[in-house]
């Protein structure tokens, strides 16, 4: 994004029940990419889809919603919409006209529009107002823009930035996995982290004393995020290797990762992905190896435990935090 880019922001105060219809109506006049602010609690399904990082819900839903649309400005102060140029006043009149039309047949609340100018919308840095250092048990997780306090200098510290996305350790599923990893890791552990994202679980495993780690992920951007976090946490690059690809469907990835060579496989991914993953990943585990899973919303617990048992693994324990579940299982000591 160009540093000198300027935007005009149109912020509409309305009701949550009118969000979708207003967004749809304004899309027709060229306003896209609405930023939605409301206090509607997330459903279980939404949480499952967004489990990487969910900001804490702090206030009760009051039915009010704010919709913000950002329109790029030209140097002469006109605005770019639908490939053409117009003025802020024209857009404002169009928005108000659409809202008044909608008001005739539905409740839209205040339906007021505030207009602001803003320099370079910095979505990444907006995180800074929400993301502060926090503890996962005795591990301090800290972003780059905060200082380590003197009393924390001797603590185990994980350096992570939300700017690299893919997870910060804030989410319950990550914390469930971390606790299980601590319980089962030894200095000889070779770890496979499926859906490694920003590499948090593998990096912490190495900090806890594991011998080496491999991560796989579908998203090429995960490699860059993981490399930044490896560097920020002073992990030797040769101790943690990341591969891009789908280990469930791609034999080439399975071959590259290797068979019966991991003491622990950890998978913090959606329950619906754990079901097809489990019968595949059993081949990567050593006899007696430990399988740690999370990303499971509570109503999917049975789905995952049944998939684990169907693959021939023995469930060792099921742990809980909030609405989330972690299933830890073990492969038989008898070679397959």
Domain 6-121 maps to which CATH number in 3.10.20.30, 3.30.110.30, 3.30.70.120, 3.40.50.9100?
3.30.70.120
Q: In whole angstroms, what is the distance from residue 251 CA to residue 290 CA?
A: 22
Tell me: is residue 249 an annotated ligand-binding position.
no
- What confidence tens digit (pLDDT) does each residue in 204-251 have? 999 999 999 999 998 887 788 888 899 999 999 999 999 999 999 999
Q: In whole angstroms, what is the distance from residue 6 CA to residue 2 CA?
A: 9
What's the pLDDT at 2? 46
Tell me: is residue 217 an annotated ligand-binding position.
yes
For the ranges 7-11, 93-97, 281-285, which has the lowest average pLDDT?
7-11
What's the pLDDT at 1? 41
**What is the band of 146 on the pLDDT scale with cuts at 50, 70, 90?**
confident
- What confidence tens digit (pLDDT) does each residue in 164-173 have? 555 777 788 9
What's the pLDDT at 99? 96
Residue (of 300, 293, 278, 297) closest to 326 by Cα position: 293
Decide: pTM greater than 0.95.
no
Domain positions in the chain are: 6-121, 170-330
Tell me: is residue 289 an annotated ligand-binding position.
no
What's the pLDDT at 271? 87
pLDDT more than 70, % of the chain: 87
Which has the higher per-residue pLDDT, 191 or 164?
Answer: 191
Helices 221-232 + 200-207 axis angle, to 10? 30
pLDDT more than 90, % of the chain: 59
Q: In whole angstroms, what is the distance from residue 34 CA to residue 26 CA?
A: 9
User: What average pLDDT does range 117-121 have in this prediction?
Assistant: 68
Q: In whole angstroms, what is the distance from residue 322 CA to residue 310 CA?
A: 27
Tell me: is residue 312 an annotated ligand-binding position.
no
User: What average pLDDT does range 305-333 have in this prediction?
Assistant: 95
What's the pLDDT at 166? 57
**What is the band of 311 on the pLDDT scale with cuts at 50, 70, 90?**
very high
CATH, domain range 170-330: 3.40.50.150
- What confidence tens digit (pLDDT) does each residue in 34-78 have? 888 888 777 766 666 555 454 555 567 788 999 999 888 888 889
Calculate the alpha carbon distances from 252 to 143, 194, 259 in Å. Answer: 36, 15, 12
Fold agreement (6-121, 170-330):
no
DSSP letter for each residue of 90-104: HHHHHHHHHHHHHHT
Contact at 8 Å (CB) between 21 and 105?
A: no
What's the pLDDT at 121? 59
* Whole-number average pLDDT of the chain: 87
Beta-carbon contacts of 158 under 8 Å, excluding residues fewer than 6 positions away, are 139, 140, 141, 142, 169, 200, 203, 204, 207, 233
Is the predicted pLDDT of residue 201 greater than 70, yes or no? yes
Compute the radius of gyration of the chain from its Cα atoms.
Answer: 24
What's the pLDDT at 331? 97
For the ranges 124-128, 235-239, 294-298, which has the lowest average pLDDT?
124-128
């Amino acid at each position: 994004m160009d540093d000198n880019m300027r935007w005009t922001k149109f912020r509409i105060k309305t009701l949550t029940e009118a969000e979708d219809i207003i967004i749809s109506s304004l899309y027709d006049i060229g306003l896209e990419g609405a930023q939605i602010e409301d206090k509607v609690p997330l459903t279980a399904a939404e949480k499952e889809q967004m489990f990487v990082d969910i900001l804490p819900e702090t206030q009760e839903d009051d039915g009010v919603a704010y919709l913000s649309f950002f329109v790029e400005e030209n140097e002469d102060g006109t605005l770019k919409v639908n490939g053409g140029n117009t003025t802020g006043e024209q857009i404002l009149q169009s928005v108000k006209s659409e809202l008044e039309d909608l008001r005739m047949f539905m409740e839209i609340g205040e339906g007021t529009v505030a207009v602001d100018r803003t320099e370079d919308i910095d979505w990444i840095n907006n995180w800074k107002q929400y993301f502060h250092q926090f503890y996962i048990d005795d591990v301090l997780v800290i972003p780059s823009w905060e200082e380590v306090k003197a009393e924390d200098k001797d603590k185990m510290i994980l350096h992570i930035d939300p700017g690299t996305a893919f997870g910060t350790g804030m989410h319950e599923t990550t914390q469930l996995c971390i606790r299980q990893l601590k319980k089962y890791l030894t200095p000889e552990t070779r770890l496979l982290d499926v859906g490694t994202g920003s590499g948090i679980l593998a990096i912490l495993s190495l900090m806890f004393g594991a011998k080496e780690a491999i991560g796989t992920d579908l998203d090429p951007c995960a490699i860059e995020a993981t490399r930044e976090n490896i560097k920020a946490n002073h992990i030797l690059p040769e101790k943690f290797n990341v591969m891009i690809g789908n280990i469930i469907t791609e034999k080439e990835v399975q071959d590259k990762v290797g068979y019966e060579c991991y003491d622990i496989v950890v998978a913090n991914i959606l329950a619906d992905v754990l079901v097809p993953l489990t019968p595949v990943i059993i081949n990567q585990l050593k006899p007696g190896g430990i399988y740690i899973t999370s990303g499971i919303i509570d109503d999917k617990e049975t789905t995952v435990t049944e998939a684990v048992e169907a693959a021939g693994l023995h469930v060792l324990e099921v742990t809980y935090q909030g609405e989330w579940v972690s299933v830890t299982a073990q492969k038989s000591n008898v070679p397959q």
